[in-house]
Amino acid sequence: MATVSQTLVREKPSGTAVHWIGGQWLDSGEHGESINPATGEVIGSYAMGGRKEGELAVNAALRAFRETDWKDNRSLRARVLNAMAARFEASAEQLARLLATEVGKVLPHARFETGTVPFNLRFNAALALTDYGRATEVDKDSLSIVIRQPVGVAGIFAPWNAPVALGIRSLAPALAAGCTAAFILPKETAQINALISEVISDTDGLPDGVVNIITSGREGIEYLVETPDVPVISFTGSTKIGRAISAAGAARLKRFGLELGGKAPMVIFDDADLDAVVAQVTSGLTVFAGQFCMTASRAIVQRGIADRFRTALAERLKKVRVGPASDPRSEMGPLINKPNVERVNKMVEDAIAAGAKIIVRGGSVTEGPLTKGAFYRPTLLEVTDSSLPIVQQEVFGPVLTMQVFDTEAEAVLLANDSEYGLSASVWSRDVDRPLRVARVLQHGTVWINDWANIHDEFEAGGFKQSGRGRLRGQAGLDDFLECKHIAFKPGAIKI
C-alpha cells in the first residue's frame, strides 16, 4: 500500500475513495487498489483506515451525541431518515452498477440489494416516531414510568457481500433510536463505501458527526470493541469473528447485536411442487454466487421425490450461465476473489475424498476468458454423513449438499443438526405439515414454499451460533436503547 498524508476537507476529493468523518472527507496514510473480481482489473484506489480513523470517527459521533439534539428530537430523526431514503432511491441504479463492478453481482442481484434500502429507512423513520415506553399506577399514590433512551455511539460493521443493504439494516435502527454511529465497511467494497458516504452526506438535515464512515478492517473493529465510548456494536459477519469480538468486549460488558453465519436447510417433502422448488433452490444457491448468510446450502429431500429432484436440479445447475455482470446474459457472477475460489474448491475436494457423491461437479473455471476472474460454477454433492465439514461449515460459495430422509421427524433432526440456525424453508402442499415442521426447526426465520422473502416489518436473526438479537421489525431498535424506570409519589388528594 502507498503512504500519503492525512487531511480533513469539506469537498470530496476526486480519484480516491476516502473516509467521511464529522461531515468532512479524510484521506489516510495508506492507499490500496480496488479490484473487479470478474476481470482482476484495478478499478480505483482507496484510503485504508485503522485505529486512528476509528478513533476520529468515534470522537465525532460522541460530540454529535452530546452536542446536538439528535438523541432528543424524534421529528428530526424521522425527517432525516425519510430524506436519506429518497437519496438512496435516487442513487439505486448507480449503487447497483458499482456493486456489479466491485463485488461482481449480476445486475438483477445488485438491484435487488439496493432496492431494499429505501423501505428499510422509511420503516425506521416511522419507528422513530412511534417507539414508546409505558406507565402504571403501582398503588393509589405511586406512579412509575419507563422511558427508552439511546445508548450513545453505535459501532456498526457490515460485510462485503451486501454492504449497502446490510449496512443500512444496522444503521437505520441505530439512527431511529437516537444513536450516532461509527460505521466501518471493508476494503473489498471501498468504492461502494465512498458512494454510500456521498449519498448519506447529501441527506438534508443530517447533523455533522451523526454518521461517520470509514473503510477499515481488523484494526478499526478492534478499536470499536475496546473503547468505552462505544457501548453497543451491531456486527454482521462470520461466527468466528462474532465470537472473538464478543470475548474481547466482555471486559466492558459491551452489548452486541450479531448476525453471523448460516447453513440454510431446504426441507423438501414428497408433495412439494417440484418445478417451484427446483427453481427456488437454484436461485437460493446462486444469488450473490452463494456468498450470502441465507444461501440455500442444504437440500434435505424426502425419498419419494428425491430421484426426480436430483435429476431436475442437476440439469438446471449445469445450465446456470456464469459470467461477468457486464454481460446481461450472466445468471451468476464471480466470488469476491481468487483465494476464495481456492478455499471453496478445497472444501469440495475434501468432501469428495471423505465420501460425498458428485452430482454436479461445477467448480473453478479453468479455460477461456473467465479464468481472469474469480468464477466458480455451482456444485451439487449428495451425502449420507451429516458430520462432514461440507455439511456443517459455512462454505460461502455456490455449493449445495443433498440428503435423503423418510419421516418428518428425521427431516427435523437433519435440519437441526448444525451449530447454525439463521434460516430454513419447508416445501409441501399439505395444509398443516409446513407449520408443524416450522415450529420445531431451530432457525430464526422459516419460509414456507419460498426462500429469502424478507420484510422489514418483521424481525430477522439467528438461533444458536447464527447470532444474538434481532434486526428489522420493532425489535430492531432494542439493541440501541436503554430502558429507564422513573418512580415517584405524587400523593393523593382526599376529597
Active site residues: 259, 293
Residues 6+ apart with CB under 8 A from 452: 284, 287, 294, 423
Segments in 159-233 forming alpha helices (H): 163-177, 190-201, 218-226
Residues 6+ apart with CB under 8 A from 349: none
Q: Contacts from 4-8 at CB under 8 Å and sequence distance 24+?
A: 4/28, 4/29, 4/30, 4/31, 4/47, 5/29
3-state secondary structure at position 219: helix
Contact 46, 194 (CB under 8 A): yes
Edge to edge, the sheet with strand 180-185 lists 8-9, 24-26, 19-21, 211-215, 180-185, 153-157, 232-236, 255-259, 467-468
Question: Would strands 255-259 and 467-468 be described as parallel, antiparallel, or unpaired?
Answer: antiparallel
Residues 6+ apart with CB under 8 A from 359: 310, 313, 314, 380, 381, 382, 402
CA–CA dist 277, 74 (Å, integer): 45
CA–CA dist 99, 96 (Å, integer): 5
CA–CA dist 108, 327 (Å, integer): 12
Phi and psi of 297, rounded to 5°? -105, -5
**Cell matching residue 287:** 444469488
The β-bridge partners of 364 are 376
CA–CA dist 286, 367 (Å, integer): 21
Q: What is the largest CA-CA distance in the chain?
A: 93
CA atoms within 13 A on the CB side of 458: 8
Contact 305, 342 (CB under 8 A): no
Phi and psi of 197, rounded to 5°? -60, -45
**Percent of the chain as helix, strand, coil, to the nearest 5:** 40, 25, 35
Residue 364 is given by DSSP the state E
CA–CA dist 460, 476 (Å, integer): 9
